[in-house]
Amino acid sequence: MTALLRAARPTDAGATGMILWRFHSETDWLPCLYSAAETIAFCGDMIDRGWMTVAERDGRVQGFIARDGQEVCGLYLAPEARGQGLGRMLLDASKRRVDRLHLRSFAANAPARRFYAKAGFRLVATGNGADNDENLPDIHYVWRKEAAA
């Protein structure tokens, strides 16, 4: 099944915010620091800044990537959309626009760590959580176009 990738619209804040909030609220190791309303507003801010691309199937937003220049600020999929290649589609679309991407992932997020390693990202640093709201150890990854070729 194919998906449409497009720039997020203000009306996508609810769908993208709920995808992000569900991830935070349903992930046992991750503290849920913000309400659903706060998370929707946060996604609305990223949309307003032009950072967000969504993956849509059958008229429904199934996931998104938020990117500020070379920094991937978030890549999330609805639970029912995982494992279908949408994350890779969103990431590959971002890779076509830049020569380098960097991001941070929580050390406890083993599926994300495997995903980024398969996508050609290399671990460049680890953190103890002092630099994120959740205070959880994280990993800094970098992807470079020349390294992936």
Contact of 106 with 126, CB cutoff 8 Å: no
Residue 147 has pLDDT above 80, yes or no: no
pLDDT band at 77 (very low <50, low <70, confident <90, very high): very high
> Would you call 125 helix, strand, or coil by DSSP?
strand
Closest CA to 100 of 67, 55, 126: 67
Contact of 64 with 81, CB cutoff 8 Å: no
Q: Write the DSSP assignment of 29-83 as a string of letters.
A: TS---S-HHHHHHHHHHHHHTT-EEEEEETTEEEEEEEEETTEEEEEEE-GGGTT
Residue 149 has pLDDT above 60, yes or no: no
102-116 confidence digits (pLDDT tens): 999 999 999 999 999
In DSSP terms, which residues pair with 5 in a beta bridge?
55
Task: Pull the structure tokens for residue 138.
Answer: 């994280």
Q: What is the pLDDT of residue 14?
A: 98
Closest CA to 37 of 61, 64, 14, 66: 14
pTM over 0.75: yes
> Would you call 129 helix, strand, or coil by DSSP?
coil
Give the span between the Cα atoms of 18 and 57, in whole angstroms. Answer: 16
Task: Sketch out the chain's domains with CATH numbers.
Answer: 4-148 (3.40.630.30)
35-60 confidence digits (pLDDT tens): 999 999 999 999 999 999 999 999 99
Contact of 32 with 13, CB cutoff 8 Å: no
